[in-house]
């Protein structure tokens, strides 16, 4: 019988969480040389050049870092960081992982949710100690789904920056606009402003590279086709969409990567429009992890373009939802290719 994601209960160890702080398979070979800027959007070429320049400044932690301060030496000048801002599909993650691959010493890479889960699992002071000797801390997909997590990360960024650790982050929103349309607490806004002062912002313009050759299309699949393909494919999973959404409520988003360990392709039946943020944002994270690990998706039901309700697509999280639609369309195209039904 084909396994269902909804039957999995991942419980990654602390060692596993630390070991996962590297670029995912999709970006394991990403390099600056393979980032091809769109000539119609010069900001892409400028960002590539600036990342290359920034890489040359990375090295061992500066004298006066965290350990030196603990010994009573003068405090180091806070390290400056880079903040890559732009729409989905302009290559921000490619540039971030390219920096990781050329950074000397001990670079660290993770998504926002991976960092917050790790800090929660090991404790704040231990996490600071773990990262204090990093040459650069790479934070992909800076999130704002939870005020507490965001305040935790701004504190971590300040402390590591004070210790001389370079920090480079990506997001779809400029740091001074983080929280706009979502949270309005004054203490939160003050924290965000203090974080933004640590970064040089690189705006990256352009269209979604996944669609440069035209919109990705995948022909509709029937539930029978999806089930039959799942039953004859090694490593495949098969889930009813509602069952999967219900299960995602019970699994912390930081474990979604472990949820899809050793999965060759994901099969879904009964796909329908998601109408609330709780389900929508969890599914966004799952799609991100599937995309990172290059796991094709075969789905029956609503078309990918109709996955998120208009209310969600016009909300403060709209960029995340549109990024998810772009990535899911790409994965559905991969799934259709497995079936030999790609448009």
* pLDDT for position 185: 40
Q: Which residues contact 24 (CB under 8 A, 6 or more apart)?
A: 257, 289, 292, 293
Structural domain spans, the chain: 31-209, 215-339
Bridge partners (DSSP) of residue 179 are none
pLDDT of residue 78: 62
For residue 237, give the nearest of 341, 335, 113 by alpha carbon: 335
Taking the CA of residue 179 as centre, how many other CA atoms within 13 Å lie in the half-sphere pointing to its CB?
22
Give pLDDT, residue 283. Answer: 97
Low-confidence ranges of the chain (pLDDT < 50): 60-61, 63-76, 179, 181-186, 188, 213-214, 342-343
Give residue 209's pLDDT: 73
The reported pLDDT for the residue numbered 341 is: 56
CATH superfamily of 31-209: P-loop containing nucleotide triphosphate hydrolases (3.40.50.300)
pLDDT at position 198, please? 77
According to the model, what pLDDT value does residue 320 have? 86
Confidence (pLDDT) at 191? 59
Q: Are 28 and 95 in contact (CB under 8 A)?
A: no
pLDDT on residue 184: 38
Quote the pLDDT of residue 211. Answer: 57
Which pLDDT score is estimated for 319? 81
pLDDT attached to residue 61: 47
- CA dist list (Å): 4 to 230, 260, 274: 10, 10, 20
For residue 182, what pLDDT is reported? 45
DSSP annotation string for 101-165: HH--S--EEEEHHHHHHHHHHH-HHHHHHHHTT-SEEEEES---S-HHHHHHHHHHHHHHHHTT-
| pLDDT tens, residue by residue, 88-136 | 788 999 999 999 999 999 999 999 888 998 998 899 999 999 999 999 9
Tokens of 44: 């892409």
């Amino acid at each position: 019988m084909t396994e269902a994601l909804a039957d999995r209960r991942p419980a990654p160890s602390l060692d596993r969480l630390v070991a996962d702080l590297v670029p995912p398979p999709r970006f394991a070979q990403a390099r600056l040389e393979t980032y091809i800027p769109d000539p119609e959007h010069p900001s892409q070429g400028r960002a590539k050049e600036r990342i290359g320049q920034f890489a040359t400044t990375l090295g061992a932690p500066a004298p006066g870092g965290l350990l030196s301060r603990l010994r009573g030496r003068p405090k180091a000048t806070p390290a400056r960081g880079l903040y890559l801002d732009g729409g989905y599909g302009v290559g921000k993650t490619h540039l971030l992982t390219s920096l990781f691959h050329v950074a000397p010493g001990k670079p660290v890479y993770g998504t926002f949710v991976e960092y917050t889960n790790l800090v929660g699992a090991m404790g704040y002071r231990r996490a600071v100690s773990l990262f204090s000797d990093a040459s650069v801390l790479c934070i992909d997909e800076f999130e704002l789904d939870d005020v507490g997590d965001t305040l935790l990360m701004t504190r971590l960024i300040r402390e590591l920056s004070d210790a001389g650790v370079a920090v480079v982050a990506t997001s779809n929103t400029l740091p001074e606009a983080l929280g706009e349309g979502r949270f309005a607490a004054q203490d939160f806004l003050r924290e965000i402003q203090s974080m933004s002062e640590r970064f040089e912002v690189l705006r990256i313009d352009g269209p979604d590279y996944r669609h440069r050759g035209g919109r990705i299309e995948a022909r509709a699949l029937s539930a029978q086709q999806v089930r039959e393909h799942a039953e004859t494919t090694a490593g495949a999973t098969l889930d009813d969409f509602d069952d999967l959404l219900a299960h995602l409520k019970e699994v912390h988003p930081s474990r979604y990567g472990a949820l899809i360990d050793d999965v060759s392709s994901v099969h879904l039946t009964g796909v329908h429009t998601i109408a609330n943020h709780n389900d929508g944002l969890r599914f966004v994270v799952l799609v991100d992890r599937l995309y990172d690990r290059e796991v094709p998706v075969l789905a029956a039901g609503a078309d990918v373009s109709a996955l998120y309700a208009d209310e969600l697509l016009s909300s403060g999280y709209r960029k995340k939802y549109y990024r998810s639609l772009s990535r899911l369309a790409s994965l559905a195209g991969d799934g259709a290719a497995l079936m030999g039904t790609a448009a």
